Amino acid sequence: MGNLHSGPPMNFRGRVFLAPLTKGGNLPFRRLCLAHGAEVTMGEMAYAYQVKKRSKSELALLRKHPDETCFGAQIAASKPADAIVAGNAAVERGASWVDLNCGCPIHDIVRRGMGATMLQRPTQLGKLVAEMVKGIPVPVSVKIRLGWSEHDQNASEVARVLEESGAAAICVHGRTREQRYSRAADWDAIARIAAERSIPVIGNGDLLTWYETHARWRQSGVASVMLGRGALIKPWLFREIAEKQAWEPTAEQRLAVYHDLAQKMKAHFRDDEKGRERAMRFLPWHFEFFCRYRPLPAAGWEEASRAHPLMQTRFADDEPDLPVLERLLRDPRPELHQRLATLLWEAADPAEAEARALLLAAEMPPVGGQAAEVATAHG
């Protein structure tokens, strides 16, 4: 396969990145984000050693859509030979740059000596990145966390090693491995690392609204920002950030967005039983995040967001006069998400999806007195 990458050199400054989201960053979802203003997308993390073995499922994670004109592939690796093979496989498939995951807290990755484990081995990490830079013809970035635990935060040292090893950029997720998503992201720590380094530092963590994003970006001095769970909840957040104003879609408008995602999955996985089965591994899962959407206008929430990120804020859902469709889309029940995903897959257009959703709402009365959390310590 020839090198599909073409275009100007990768610019890591002044950008809003879609994070490499395990499971959530599938190609149809990335296309949905592109339709709502995203310009820089990243694929799901691929195991380098599996790419080296030519695993079809792992190679699929390196695939980009023609609409993705600025696409980064993320790999997990601990050995230079594996990382270089995987990085070049990504470049052959059109990646503008290759990102090394050194932040993933998941047990399977950590026990294999990859992801966040690399934070505990800065010297080995530096050698790995230096070899990648020599062996891969596009820029290499590295995504890190603040450290292994509250009492073992060495991101400043790791970032220095990475810059000295030739990394083109560093993305810092403002939490430790131990914290997962349970604590608010530490943007003061991200700011310190950005001030210490001459290569671009990308800030990541708890960005849910356009005003929070611009405030963190400005105050921290980072080169760029990266959206993870915020994009999963609001795929249109990219456009809000670019325009510096909120889009507060009605339940009907959101359902049309979700129908669009289902159709993009149909195009990607194919409109047959096997394709449907594959799509249903993803589409109901997305509703775990879609159901957390709440309108958060700057006039009512900007001041509160300075004290505590809205991503980590709990919102009670006991409003008595919520429209039927709005209540349905806020419902956190997994069995309902499965039903919503199915009707979106089957509906010919948004109008049919809406009609079927209203029938579903009548069939499944809401659970009373529930409080939904916009974001939780979800993987």
pTM above 0.85, yes or no: yes
Residue-wise pLDDT tens digits, 127-167: 999 999 999 999 999 999 998 777 778 999 999 999 999 99
* pLDDT recorded at residue 368: 55
* pLDDT recorded at residue 160: 97
Of 33, 70, 102, 104, which one is the catalytic site residue?
104
Domains of the chain: which residue ranges? 16-243, 251-373
* pLDDT recorded at residue 377: 35
Question: Are 327 and 368 spatial neighbours (Cβ–Cβ below 8 Å)?
Answer: no
DSSP string, 165-232: TT-SEEEEESS-TTTTTSS---HHHHHHHHHH-SS-EEEES---SHHHHHHHHHHHT-SEEEESHHHH
184's CB contacts (< 8 A; 6+ apart) are 205, 206, 308, 309, 312
Rounded CA-CA distance 12/28 in Å is: 24
Residue-wise pLDDT tens digits, 26-68: 999 999 999 999 999 999 999 999 999 999 999 999 999 999 9
Q: What is the mean pLDDT of residues 174-196?
A: 85
| Residue 224 confidence (pLDDT) above 80 | yes
Question: Are 336 and 328 spatial neighbours (Cβ–Cβ below 8 Å)?
Answer: yes
Domain 16-243: assigned CATH number: 3.20.20.70
* pLDDT recorded at residue 373: 43
Asked if 70 is an active-site residue, the reply is: no
